[in-house]
Amino acid sequence: MTSIFCVLRATVTAFVVLAGIIVLFLMYHKSFPSLKCHPSPAHLRRLAKQANLRITPLVTKQPSRPAVTHHTDKPVVLLWFWPEDKKFDLQDCKTLFKIDSCHLTDDRSFYSRAHGVLVFHRAIRDDLSNLPTSPRARFQRWIWFNMDSPTNTRRISGIKGLFNLTLSYRKDADIHVRWRLALKKNTDEDFVLPRKERLLCWIVDSADLDTKSTERFSYYRELVKHIEVDVFNSSSVEFSQGVNYFLTISSCKFYLSFEDSLHRDYITETFNGPLVAGTVPIVLGPPRRNYEDFAPGASFIHVNDFPDAATLAEFLLTLDKDNRAYMRYFNWRRFFTARRHLTEENREFAHAICQACHHIGTSKAYRVVPDLYKWLLQ
């Protein structure tokens, strides 16, 4: 009995050991070759590219600051003041302009690690007491954010040597903000003139019409003696919210794109509006050749093309009767498109702020602006 039991035990043991060896061998055989064949990252990337996939690297750098995990690779741009308290969703840069090259924030606790600090000029106190006080990091650049013309720019002594970059409508600013015409990709699309119900229009704060004496109002008062102008009050709800803005302009054959002050490059949305809407802008601002830096010469009518307002009015009335001549003002549309600017009040500064984000995310140049006002006034 004992010997049979012994033989049986030995057999079972041998069987178990053999099975173990077989399992081990199979495991080794299965895992080893696959280890050897593990594709290189480059190969993976190539495969992913073929399959149109995005690959996240296996080894991710441990973020040093958990609060900003997904932003560590992007420079931080700190919006020091909300301009005129007009707050918008900072994600708009990504959704509206496809700008995603910086981590944009209004959280001042990011100050010490901000690569760019965006400072809205109008909000700076005369004694500079609301500017950052702690020393700035070597990599940090302060951006002077001012979309106003020199006429409307308050002089603050003491900000002369503070800034590294300028953000302005000026062509020679470090960050040049403007709604530009874009080259058209598809040139055989035909332009259809919107339905016109009015001859000449202007959206303006109507409280200023009879009181202000700047160029645009004196010219307007001269013009209405010779031609009818439909004036829409810009401070009414329908315009301050941006509703009906493009719609109203498109219902007019001509639109008064009169700037509030006359300075080089100071050509604002009041010019872009009619270009977008399919209306001919009548411009008052810098000289014609300056407009031609930004738009084709045959896309607008300049008040200085005429000796006086009476002659301009006469010309507009003849164009009103000559459709072929009128339509020539839209020939540029075969090659360019104008982009709708944002008209919602709270998004007034979104375009500029997003441009700053784009700039800091893509350019690292070292710079100091020695004298802001000298630059602005030249």
The answer for residues whose C-beta is within 8 angstroms of residue 232's C-beta and 6 or more apart is 201, 202, 203, 204, 239, 248
What backbone torsions phi and psi does residue 143 show, to the nearest 5 degrees? Answer: -110, 125
Three-state DSSP state, 307: coil
Which x/- pattern over 73-102 shows residues binding ligand NAG (rule: CB under 6 A)?
A: ------------------------------
Which x/- pattern over 117-156 shows residues binding ligand NAG (rule: CB under 6 A)?
A: ------------------------x---------------
Decide whether 174 or 259 has the Cβ nearer to ligand NAG: 174
Three-state DSSP state, 201: strand
- Residue 374 interacting with ligand NAG (CB under 6 A): no
**Binding residue (CB under 6 A) for ligand NAG from 43, 160, 180, 367:** 367
If binding means CB under 6 A, how many residues of this protein chain bind ligand NAG?
6
Least CB distance from residue 161 to ligand NAG, whole Å?
A: 5
CA distances from 84 to 14, 111, 158, 331 (A): 86, 21, 22, 39
- What is the spatial distance between Cα 174 and Cα 83, in angstroms, rounded to a whole number? 20
- What is the spatial distance between Cα 360 and Cα 110, in angstroms, rounded to a whole number? 15
Least CB distance from residue 360 to ligand NAG, whole Å?
A: 11
Question: Would you say 163 and 117 are in contact if contact means Cβ atoms under 8 Å apart?
Answer: no
Taken as a whole, the chain contains a residue count of 378
Least CB distance from residue 164 to ligand NAG, whole Å?
A: 4
- Residue 366 interacting with ligand NAG (CB under 6 A): yes
Least CB distance from residue 65 to ligand NAG, whole Å?
A: 22
- What is the spatial distance between Cα 104 and Cα 165, in angstroms, rounded to a whole number? 17
Question: Would you say 317 and 357 are in contact if contact means Cβ atoms under 8 Å apart?
Answer: no
Stretch in the footprint of ligand NAG (CB under 6 A) among 8-16, 286-294, 316-324, 364-372: 364-372
- Residue 164 interacting with ligand NAG (CB under 6 A): yes
Least CB distance from residue 368 to ligand NAG, whole Å?
A: 4
Stretch in the footprint of ligand NAG (CB under 6 A) among 60-68, 246-254, 323-331, 366-374: 366-374
Give counts: helices (H), strands (E), the chain: 12, 13
Least CB distance from residue 167 to ligand NAG, whole Å?
A: 15
Decide whether 93 or 369 has the Cβ nearer to ligand NAG: 369
Stretch in the footprint of ligand NAG (CB under 6 A) among 208-216, 274-282, 320-328, 363-371: 363-371
Check the CA dihedral 316-321-322-326 and report its sign.
positive
- Residue 333 interacting with ligand NAG (CB under 6 A): no
**Binding residue (CB under 6 A) for ligand NAG from 161, 171, 331, 378:** 161
- What is the spatial distance between Cα 8 and Cα 23, in angstroms, rounded to a whole number? 22
Local structure of residue 102 (DSSP, 8 states): S
The answer for residues whose C-beta is within 8 angstroms of residue 23's C-beta and 6 or more apart is none
Give contact residues for ligand NAG (rule: CB under 6 A): 141, 161, 164, 366-368
